[in-house]
Amino acid sequence: MLVLLIESSKLYQMFLSDLFVRLGYRPVSVASRQEALQALGKYEFHFICLNLSLDGEDTMEFIPQVRKLAPQASLILLTSDRAKGIRLQAVKAGATEVIYKSSASHIIRRLQVLLRGSHNSQVLSNSCRVLYVEDSRTQAAIVRQTLEQDMNLQVEHCNRAETALERLAEREYDLVITDVLLKGGASGLWLLRQLRQLDNENAQLPVLTLTGYDDPERRLELLRAGTTDYVTKPVLKEELIIRVNNLVSNKLLMDKVLEQQAQMQKLAMRDELTGCYNRLGLEELADKYISQATRQERPISLAMVDIDHFKRINDAYGHDTGDRVLRTLGKLLRRKCRKSDVVARWGGEEFVLLLPDTNREQGRAALQKLRKLVVGMCAVKGETVTASFGFTSIEAPQRPQLNAMITCADQALYQAKEEGRNCVIYRECGNQNPV
């Protein structure tokens, strides 16, 4: 891409030229207005850098001439003049940005940011999907060419709002572009309102509306209906590129933020030492599983697991060894339980197992198997490690509370300790909904 450098200083010409070359651009340097006008008439430039003191004449009068000859280019004004109002005056004249000649590093940083932003606005990932709704074949061909060839986007085109709504209910997209006036029984405005009422992630999609009307009432109507942005017809190619790029980039950025939030939430629900769920994770999942068991009239069981004589292990072999035993037990429980089961560390050496679709007999059999596996897999310097299990079960259609089940299982665990440890004890959960 070509860059026009309108700079009378040979030193700045060399500095800027070298900088643009390193950034992947082809600079064309001129020292006067006349040379600049000749170059603008001969080439199409992506960027233009202009010195305020050029020729000692009024640069603010020259900016509109440059803008007229290169309406699509980004025009950067370089100046040492920090007089109040210079930036506003330059922008009103047609400049894209003003960079003060304070230092070489400042100029480099500002130009890198501007160039990077402009370059990124031209090409998006070809994995980005756009749903385009337009009933005019001619208009659709023009817009699709811009989106697919110039912006590298995947475009699905349909000519009716009803068809678009069906696709939005089934597939995921990154952007919707729709004309307001469409043939058939539904308009783009109808589609927009229906889109915002969907019960999937597409309800939050950015929408770019194309309209032949630019009156304030129509703009307000589109905004109230939920449009994110709009473009008036006839559609300018560069304006379309900029607006689509902004909408899709913001959507991808928001997707990344939500993904990071979900990851942080996932980490917040996990015990760092064992990799099992923590209390927060257990509470989050328990409500879902208990509600499901009640709704489907299926049994559910809950067990408390406690390592026998854990304090003695810590005292005799140190906390590092104790942590290793906890990690080993946590890994064993996660690997040997079903995918539908919830394994959580309750605190210290205690674990909780929530077992959906498991009655009393099934729970006892599963826990006995786990108890034997603990004996076989956990050892400290040749010494066998055991665990005690206390559990309870609820049969449908009763709806238990997590606290009630934990209380019952904890009482069963206490009984298991009293009866010699390394055993499985069941206790009926009589108080299902304590106040």
Q: Which residues are catalytic?
A: 349
Structure tokens at 319: 């906390």
Using CA atoms, how far apart are residues 71 and 5, in angstroms rounded to an integer?
16
Using CA atoms, how far apart are residues 35 and 44, in angstroms rounded to an integer?
15
Q: Quick check: 6 and 30 in contact, CB under 8 A? A: yes
Using CA atoms, how far apart are residues 372 and 143, in angstroms rounded to an integer?
67
**Among 359, 363, 305, 360, which residue's Cα sits nearest to residue 332?**
305
First to last CA, the chain: 72
CB atoms within 10 A of CB 368: 13
CB atoms within 10 A of CB 28: 20
Task: List, in order, residues 6 or more apart from 151 with CB less than 8 Å away.
Answer: 122, 123, 124, 241, 244, 245
Using CA atoms, how far apart are residues 228 and 174, in angstroms rounded to an integer?
13
**Among 156, 130, 113, which residue's Cα sits nearest to residue 245?**
130
Structure tokens at 422: 């390394």
Q: What is the DSSP letter of 247?
A: H
CA dist list (Å): 137 to 231, 421, 428: 18, 78, 71
